[in-house]
Amino acid sequence: MEKKFEIKDLITVGVFTALYFAVTFAVACIGFIPIFMVFMPLIGPIFTGIPLMLYFSKIKHFGMITITSVIIAILMFITGHPYPIFIFCIGAGLLTELVLKAGNYQSIKSCVIGSSTFSLWLLGMVIAFFFGFRESYLNSLVDGYGQEYVDKMSGYTPTWVFFTMIAMCIVGGLIGGLLGAKVLKKHFRKAGIV
């Protein structure tokens, strides 16, 4: 059986997934401050885009970034995020695979776009807040507070907020990707590592 992945590839996946996760976590800690929490989908990808770009430069064939997204999904699940996270992570991962493949694993442009598509997994974290939360909670409120109240609550969490978050992920990812490309050029290419 042809082995699809070499040990070198798998170790690269492991190491960079760890780095990506660590940066995400570090940024998320700052996000605990309520003001910033809302902007996490924007700020997070800006910073995580940088190591992500280096990771992309090491990817030469299909499958590696999908593994990363699966691992992140599993990690998120293990730490208690509900199941929609799987859909978003793997979806974002596969989308990114296609983007990278389209660029033949060489093009910087496709890497930058890949940075934004990959960042979409963050939505998986908040999706439960919107759909799972809303429906059940609102339903439970009807008994206690009355329909009018529920309608008002519904008004506070409209779906447009969700779309704003999508936009934030994409924009943040693009910025992060561009920053990453700049860092790669300035340091890694010059040092001969890329």
Partner 1 sequence: MELGLSSTSDKSVKKLDPRTKLCLLIAISLIMVGGKTVGVEYILRVICAAIPFVLLLTVRHIKSALIYVMLLGLSVFCEGSVIPNISGAPNLILMILCGIISRFVPGYMMGWYTVRSTSVSEFMTAMDRMHVPYFITIPFSVMFRYFPTLGEEYRSIHDAMKMREIGQSVKNPFIYIEYVLVPIMMSTVRIADELSAASLTKGLCAGGKRTHICQISIKFYDWLLMLGSLVMIVLFFVF
Partner 2 sequence: MIEFKNVTFAYSSTDADGRAIEQGSISGIDLTIQNGEFVVLTGGSGCGKTTITRLINGLIPHYYSGTLNGDVLIDGKSVPNTPIFETAKKVGSVFQNPRSQFFNVNTTDEIAFAAENQCIAPERILSHIAETTRNMQIEKLLDRSIFELSGGEKQIIACAGINVLSPDIVVLDEPSSNLDSSAIMKLKSILADWKSQGKTIIIAEHRLYFLRELADRMLILEGGRITKELQADEVNKLTFADTERMGIRPLSLEDISFSRESSSNHNEMLTLESFIFTYKDGKHGINIPKLELPTNSVIAIIGHNGAGKSTLARNICGLEKKCKGTLTLNGKKLKAKDRLHYCYMIMQDVNHQLFTESVRDEVMLSMTDKSMPDEQKAQKADEILTQLDLIEYADTHPMALSGGQKQRTAIASGIASSKPIIIFDEPTSGLDLAHMKQVAVEILKLRDMGKTVFIVTHDLELILSCCDHIVRLEKGEAAENYKLYKDIAARLRQFFAN
Interface contacts to partner 2, rule CB under 8 A: 8, 58, 186-187, 190-194
Shortest approach of partner 2 to residue 183 CB, angstroms? 10
Pick from 56, 59, 69, 81: which binds partner 1 (CB under 8 A)?
A: 81
- Interaction partner, residue 192 (partner 1, partner 2, none; CB < 5-8 Å by kind): partner 2
Q: How far apart are the C-alpha atoms of 17 and 125, rounded to whole Å? A: 17
Shortest approach of partner 1 to residue 80 CB, angstroms? 3
Q: How far apart are the C-alpha atoms of 31 and 45, rounded to whole Å? A: 13
Where are the alpha helices (H) located in the chain, listed in sequence order?
7-30, 34-37, 40-58, 64-78, 84-102, 108-119, 122-145, 147-156, 159-183, 190-191
Residue in 7, 38, 60 with CA at minimum distance from that of residue 129: 38
Asked if residue 111 binds partner 1 (CB under 8 A), the reply is no
Q: How far apart are the C-alpha atoms of 174 and 53, rounded to whole Å? A: 11
Q: What is the amino acid identity at position 70?
A: V
Nearer to partner 1, 105 or 133 (CB): 133
Nearer to partner 1, 144 or 148 (CB): 144
Site for partner 1 in 129-148 (CB under 8 A): 129, 132-133, 136-137, 139-140, 143-145
Sign of CA dihedral 178, 29, 26, 71: negative
Contacting residues for 93 by C-beta, under 8 A, at least 6 apart = 65, 66, 68, 69, 70, 118, 121
Residue in 114, 82, 81, 121 with CA at minimum distance from that of residue 97: 114
Interacting stretch for partner 1, rule CB under 8 A, among 44-52, 90-98, 112-120, 163-171?
A: 44-52
Nearer to partner 2, 7 or 29 (CB): 7
Asked if residue 162 binds partner 1 (CB under 8 A), the reply is no
- List contacts with partner 1 (CB under 8 A): 1, 3-8, 10-19, 21-23, 25, 47, 50-51, 54, 58, 63, 67-68, 70-71, 74, 77-83, 128-129, 132-133, 136-137, 139-140, 143-145, 153, 156, 179, 183, 187-188, 191, 193
